[in-house]
Structure 1
Amino acid sequence: MVEEGRPQNTFTKATDAVLGTLGGPAKWIRENIVDRNRPVYPWYHRQYRRVPTIDECYTDDIVCYVEANEQFKRDKQVDNEVLSILRKRQEDCAFYEAPNHKEKCAPLREAYEKAAENWFIKYGDLGAYGNVKDAYMKQKHRLIWERRHGPVGTGMKGNNID
């Protein structure tokens, strides 16, 4: 327990002796028993393997549908948290940069608005009980609409009713 460069007087020798007596067994138990029997978790949260998406499932494969639905729920939770973090960062920036926050917080605001738009494209109007099949049908209907009329929000191409 002696540190190099530390002067050795009676007090430091006594302190080192007490710490070695009390901390030695605890350190030995930690290094030789606890750490060797503890599994290694490289991530701070559980990592699930990616499962097939709903468009890769057969129509009568219930297990595949349930796995895809659970994956959809996890992805939605992650997207909700990302959106919440971006919103909080934007609000904090606006609070701290009060008089000229519109200029200084513009990149954060744009990132939040883009993330909110993407969230709404994927999960908006599904409701609280929306599932993976509803999201898939929403995506399909959006793609059909864009093929017929152009991107959503740009007006209908060639179908001007005057």
Structure 2
Amino acid sequence: MPLPDGNNFIEKFAKSFYNLFDTPATIIKEKIVAPNQKTYPWYHQKFRRVPTIDQCYTDDPICVFEADMQYRRDRQVDSEILSILRQRFEDCVLYETPDHMEKCKHLLQQYEEGSTDWFTKYGDLGAYHDVKVAYMKQKHRMVWERRHGPVGSGMKEN
């Protein structure tokens, strides 16, 4: 006559021996490790947004450094987005070769608009620039537009 499950002495001993090691490890994992673990639902780390350079005090080097690092990350992201747009257009041209001018026109327009926006923000700054240089470029552009109208429209008459 077989014994019911759980009444066997060897099974009870093996289960209690297992629980002797498993229970503390499970408690530590559930109560300490899991609540303090940083989990991201994406594959890259998401940095918190910091004050921009125009919100920093002039004598606060930490704020300026954080704004510069955020600017560099943003520029890198914008450059990658532009690279993806360019790659999409090139892939479309390769795939639709005979009549790619009409089938890939919307991708070319997206890429040209993106590259224009990228150049407006980051172009003509030189190889070694920081957030202050980019901020001054933006400020000078805004002053120009206030005085002369949108860039590229010619100078307005006074």
**What's the TM-score once normalised by structure 1's chain length?**
0.74
**Partner residue in 2 for 1:79:** 78
Match for residue 110 of structure 1? 109
1:123 and 2:122 correspond:
yes
1:95-145 alpha-carbon deviations (Å, 9 max, x no partner): 111111111111111111111001001100111211100000000000000
Amino acid at match of 2:131: V
Report SS of the residue matched to 1:44: coil
Q: Which residue of 2 aligns with 1:45?
A: 44
Aligned-residue sequence identity (percent) comes to: 62
In the other structure, the counterpart of 1:54 is 53
State how far apart, in whole Å, the 1-side matches of 2:117 and 2:77 are. 13
User: How far 1:41 sits from its partner (Å)?
Assistant: 2.6
Matches within 5 A, 1:10-159: 39=37, 40-158=39-157
Question: What letter corresponds to residue 138 of structure 2 in structure 1?
Answer: Q
Flag the structure with larger Rg: 2
For structure 2, which runs of at least 5 residues remain unmatched after alignment?
1-24
Comparing 35-44 with 79-88, greater Cα deviation is found at 35-44
Q: What is the RMSD of the two structures over their aligned residues, measured on CA atoms?
A: 2.0
What is the distance in 1 between the residues matched to 2:43 and 2:151?
Answer: 39
SS of residue in 1 equivalent to 2:59: coil
2: distance between equivalents of 1:76 and 1:83? Answer: 10
- The number of aligned residues is 128
